[in-house]
Structure 1
């Protein structure tokens, strides 16, 4: 043989092997013949779709369903096997000539022989030696056909799971792609399918194609289906021809043997090829009593002719589905219209018809057994229970139900479930915070009851009566989480309505919506003190703060409750001395928790910090030294708490805590708003020790604050950088200069007061009781004022800087001199107009002041 011929033959052999492998690895997507198959055991007959196992003595009825136009004659052969090392006897092969009336009409009826373990169906093209050739092939290599039975069954069961998954994805995508994100995880759990979670993050329109990619790697390992086809219990492994299912390429263990089964089938059936026959594997999809064969290779009617091979269920003991509840502790409502009981562990329950006549069995209050139809639904992730028959049943509040059904011919018992009946129950907020809502945002609250399994829907009405949409979900067996959209709601009463399955009226739950509360950062007080500082926001809403059995309320001295700090002091009984107010029993550095209560009744915790004790002093005495020119204002101040701007204040203080003054101590004097302040110290000689406990301070307001300062002043001691509490000192007043008071002889007319800076006068009256005062306009620029005629005690006035005190004007009223007779009554036209700033204003009674 020439080298060229040898190379040609070698190339042809390689091409032949490559072509064979390509054919065997092709997908099973060619529709083949259909067979009708039923199985009878005792007096029961089931369609093949409901039979997971055969048993010795079962009667098989098989009929080929070929169209009338079928031109090629097929021989139907049923063969039983009894293991890989034990060839079956010749009488275990049964044939039926499908083109003849007897077989075409009545089919083939066979009883499963004793000792049989597997069953195969062959469809072979009519040939004179077809039956004998087939029998010899099976008996000659029984292990190979046993293995083919196992692989065909495994591939069929796995493919049934894949087909159910893909069909469900297509239907869901066609109906509503948006539900794929929620439904696919349930579908995958039920069928044992691997899902790429990244697919669910895509747009709904792109999820389905992604979920169906790589179909051969979607099926996960399922111990139940593998145990159903496990029939190789005896004989050496060498009889199994190949073991591709254990190769790394097949990823055996995590994924199902589906891929490896197809590889084994391809190699196995290639080894059966002879000159006249080649064997083609067929996957048998069972629906009711029909077995539809699916091929991956087009059959050939020329040598080598194609023999179709399909497997029937193995002959072995029944293996009931290992179903178990997904969440055994969950509680389900028996009154739901669509009650779903989640189960897992047996994908074939959802992918095949093996499990049938399934019911949920419950017991009524009177002991009667009630069976509710149950349907396995992979898209729901469990069994869908028909509860319509419970409408007239009498049930207890809590009871159990369990799944029961048939696995083929045998009964099986499924898992049990805890069920509740709809009954009247109290719904309460899970915590105090859940009873109060905040408007302007979405609120998440929790309601508790004996069971939340029977909630049908939850509605809410805001304070205006408007019904709002509510999202809710159970978080525990007795607790439900509710999201309330109160972004546009107003404060006031909010009513939740909880509607349960089987109940005609919803249960109302009254809540209240409040405005947004402020934040409360901290409450700080110094050791031994009965007042402290609350920091936060919206402090004007604070009614009180409780701490260590004491109640703190906003200080009466609070001037701006809208600021981020609020002074709180211990609430005293009416008439109690503030100097004896109790202080919390807390020491420096200690922490505690207080409770802030708002005016609307809400309360919030707040952290309490205790700072070091602050230095304290008491005011012993004070005196005012006027300027060197004396009292040029002609005003006698009626209160020692008033300090003229140009005067000097000398006051003394006694140390209380610590008991002695240190050289580092000083005194701060400031205006009420602390915009102006000064420090009196030993260093600047404005503070002098009388002894170790008493210090004398000298304060010059003009030097310290300038000429525009006025109003209440306060002081505090500062010792080693720690400031004491502010205490009232004096009220700084600016004094006008009163020069003359002229009163006409007519007692019914007003007097004229002349002077400088009269805008510093608030009002003037003729009596100490300050009846019928005359008010001075703010910013009055004139030098003369019409004032009431003074009483015998004099003229009284209030200063604009301290209108709370009535002072005395130290002026004596003067009457103008009597004019000469010729000038007493001059002609009106000859009298020149006096200058506006000098004219006297007279009237029978005080008149409104205007610029003279």
Structure 2
């Protein structure tokens, strides 16, 4: 491998810094006709057999050198094209200059090249011999020139938008640059966005040749001959210092390849230089990276047209498929990604957002791709107010060249007087004197334009807000200079004249430290007070604690602090009085006395036992998970006391779901706990009675002794079981079965085998009493429950076969002693008649 790379180095070294395409060349007008439709070549990503091409050159009026234009069709690297696939046009004649050249893509053509060669004797013959002699070189140049043009279009679109913003709105570059990078698949240096606004544009456009990232769609449109091991070798060689030290974008790689290809087949009469095309409507503006020569060898300009191949529609996808967008906005931005060429070329054209209301009315709204805004911009002014209803789905549709394509689907909602509410837990979380955050919930989040805070005097303050979910918005309120008491949030939405109001209450919070809680053996404590967001550190002597999670509950802050020295923290003795010093961010200190609490209680889980109910057994599901318990079963488990060494009479055990939505306490007093001795207890727990039907998932356990809570530990997984009643299957194994029962929505999927190779997913919220399932293997089905989908459980329900059973196979005939075949005996042991004998025995009259 090292030897092969060494051989490649001379090819890469002279082209490591290829000359830029900055020399203006002539212009070509190209129209493509397919059937009764014609398009400018700028809207045609690929050609097809039978397409008619109209090509007309345009030179300056002062042009003195005569050029022969030749359109050539190629049919692969190993198949020279016939001579009648070369179509010349003398550009200095009035016929070619005024009427141009019209050619039809022949059957079997794969590539199209246009040559512009200085007039000489035998110029056409020389071109024919060159192309027919080495067709692979020209095939490769066609693909590379197309790749360069596509990558260059993305680069030009990026530079154009950055420069435009630099002149008009430089302060917006930091917001727009990430959208441009996503839309056009370019590489943006994040450090550029941290510079001053006046320096961001020059930083973002530095190193142009390495900005373009590989894009699967554009590379599909211009297929490369180097695949597999050859492509890997080129990429590895390009990472070496001699080949540019890894600055190997698709744009640079194509330029290097083109230079290498054209250098390899220069002749005494002609040399070939690439012409890069820039689409401008029906015009192809040519730019060169080498100075044309009119001395031998004369320079032939090589122009590539789109490849002859099936259309490759753009793989557009929504950036956030779950997002909801506001149909009431006059200008709607639908973020899409996955196909940079829709932003940098005109291949995708006549794109619209197609909406259909519940009443059957359709709207087609024009959509324009805008890379600076990260998606398609749709003007909704043509839709009457209220015509779309409260919610509607829309799909992007358009043309990719001559073919139609479909983009992603978006959900749109109209602004309405929706109810707004504070998220649970935020009602008493607002404290004056600082910025505070609340979460608002409503179905109208997508249409929010502004959120203002109004005080009792009518003064309005602007807030910072952002949508954090389809139905939730996070609002940061400026409460530094407001007084405690009532305030009002004003919510403005697109399409609504009046703002909606939501009353709030803010509370005073004097700076104070109420208490510090630390138990012996713990490495973290809890500081309780107000304005604890200003705490920088806490110390007990030389032991320092750093601030962690901060929560506010009913106007009181609870700040968890973590010891930097875990060994020293666990060495603190219980009931020891200590002095706690709290240091604030502004340097002030607050000193409080505290007592180290007793070691928190802990227990060891010894064993578990599950007693299913009669209804559980009648549900016909055999649970496989070792820790699964049906919701209506009874769970018994035994515990050993660890700390303290024995159980106290007032000690209780708390069982809760993972999110603690459901919890219950078990104790000696309520009869759920029985002591074997002072150190071992047997606990009985009935989930259905304690939690009801809606509790599910992992359960956890902790003990509480003397008002001190222990750590949570896993207990079991609570699952709700559907009541399976009957499984009916036809005898025909190719037909599906029907499973009937109640609460089938509790099943996530049903399969015919334990490996879940043939599975049927149960829709969310399935209300039916029957569902179609596959034929079981060995008369047994398998299910995965929604409450514990990682475990596969067997169904013990017997199969009821329906329909006509298949006929039993006839027994084989056996030869008698003489070698003749005897018919099988009838039910009485008598030999039956042989049908081949032609007659049947007479019936017995008795």
The TM-score range, normalised by the shorter chain, is 0.5 to 0.7
Matched, 1:133 2:126: yes
388-397 or 30-39, which deviates more:
388-397
Structure 1 residues 535 and 91, CA, compared in 2 at 3 Å: closer, same or farther? Answer: closer
Matched, 1:502 2:495: yes
Contact 2:330 2:379 in 1 (8 A): yes
Aligned equivalent of 1:247, options 234, 237, 246:
237
Aligned to 1:323: 316
Structure 1 residue 396, shift from structure 2 partner: 2.6
Distance 1:535 1:203 in 2: 42
Contact 1:536 1:564 in 2 (8 A): no
Aligned to 2:149: 156
Aligned to 1:112: 105
Structure 1 residue 253, shift from structure 2 partner: 11
Aligned to 2:431: 438
Secondary structure of residue in 1 paired with 2:325: strand
Aligned equivalent of 1:472, options 459, 465, 478:
465
Contact 1:244 1:263 in 2 (8 A): no
Distance 2:16 2:421 in 1: 68
Matched, 1:192 2:185: yes
Distance 2:229 2:23 in 1: 33
Matched, 1:269 2:271: no
Distance 1:536 1:209 in 2: 50
Gap runs ≥5 in structure 2: 1-9, 518-526, 532-552, 557-590, 595-646, 655-846
Aligned equivalent of 1:413, options 379, 400, 406:
406
Aligned to 1:292: 285
Secondary structure of residue in 1 paired with 2:121: coil
Contact 1:535 1:565 in 2 (8 A): no
Distance 2:27 2:379 in 1: 34
Secondary structure of residue in 2 paired with 1:372: strand
Secondary structure of residue in 2 paired with 1:357: strand
Secondary structure of residue in 1 paired with 2:382: helix
- How many residues are treated as equivalent by the alignment? 527
Distance 1:262 1:254 in 2: 13
Matched, 1:487 2:477: no
Structure 1 residue 414, shift from structure 2 partner: 0.5
Aligned to 1:176: 169
Distance 2:65 2:376 in 1: 45
Distance 2:13 2:28 in 1: 27
Structure 1 residue 521, shift from structure 2 partner: 3.6
**Equivalent runs, 1:439-454 vs 2, <5 Å:** 439-454=432-447
Aligned equivalent of 1:93, options 62, 83, 86:
86
Contact 1:158 1:256 in 2 (8 A): no
Structure 1 residues 425 and 68, CA, compared in 2 at 3 Å: closer, same or farther? Answer: same
Secondary structure of residue in 1 paired with 2:443: coil
**Equivalent runs, 1:17-166 vs 2, <5 Å:** 21=14, 25-166=18-159
Contact 2:267 2:297 in 1 (8 A): yes
Distance 2:174 2:418 in 1: 35
CA RMSD in angstroms, aligned pairs only:
3.5
Aligned equivalent of 2:331, options 331, 338, 345:
338
Q: After TM superposition, where is structure 1 displaced by more than 4 Å over at least 4 residues in a row? A: 17-24, 231-234, 242-246, 250-256, 517-520, 534-538, 542-545, 563-566, 586-593
Secondary structure of residue in 2 paired with 1:302: coil
Secondary structure of residue in 1 paired with 2:446: coil
Aligned equivalent of 2:394, options 377, 401, 404:
401
Gap runs ≥5 in structure 1: 1-16, 525-533, 546-562, 567-585, 594-852
Structure 1 residue 515, shift from structure 2 partner: 1.8
Distance 1:122 1:23 in 2: 27
Aligned to 2:456: 463
Contact 2:509 2:555 in 1 (8 A): no
Contact 2:415 2:495 in 1 (8 A): yes
Aligned to 2:222: 229
- 1:49-98 Cα offsets, whole Å, 9 max, x none, are 10000000101001111121111111111000000000000110111111
Distance 2:593 2:11 in 1: 87
TM-score, length-scaled by structure 2: 0.58
**Equivalent runs, 1:820-839 vs 2, <5 Å:** none
**Equivalent runs, 1:602-613 vs 2, <5 Å:** none
Aligned to 1:218: 211
Structure 1 residue 271, shift from structure 2 partner: 1.6
Contact 2:15 2:259 in 1 (8 A): no
Distance 2:142 2:237 in 1: 20
Distance 1:32 1:392 in 2: 52
Distance 1:450 1:203 in 2: 39
**Equivalent runs, 1:9-20 vs 2, <5 Å:** none
Aligned to 2:197: 204
Structure 1 residues 73 and 543, CA, compared in 2 at 3 Å: closer, same or farther? Answer: closer
Contact 2:12 2:256 in 1 (8 A): no
**Equivalent runs, 1:628-647 vs 2, <5 Å:** none
Structure 1 residue 153, shift from structure 2 partner: 0.5
TM-score, length-scaled by structure 1: 0.58
Structure 1 residue 254, shift from structure 2 partner: 10
Distance 1:366 1:403 in 2: 20
Structure 1 residues 49 and 482, CA, compared in 2 at 3 Å: closer, same or farther? Answer: same
Structure 1 residue 391, shift from structure 2 partner: 2.9
Distance 1:385 1:115 in 2: 41
Secondary structure of residue in 1 paired with 2:50: coil
Structure 1 residue 272, shift from structure 2 partner: 2.1
- 1:606-632 Cα offsets, whole Å, 9 max, x none, are xxxxxxxxxxxxxxxxxxxxxxxxxxx
Structure 1 residue 433, shift from structure 2 partner: 2.8
**Equivalent runs, 1:385-400 vs 2, <5 Å:** 385-392=378-385, 394-400=387-393
Structure 1 residue 126, shift from structure 2 partner: 1.1
Secondary structure of residue in 2 paired with 1:453: helix
- 1:215-246 Cα offsets, whole Å, 9 max, x none, are 11111111111111127599x999x9x98567
Distance 1:442 1:23 in 2: 55
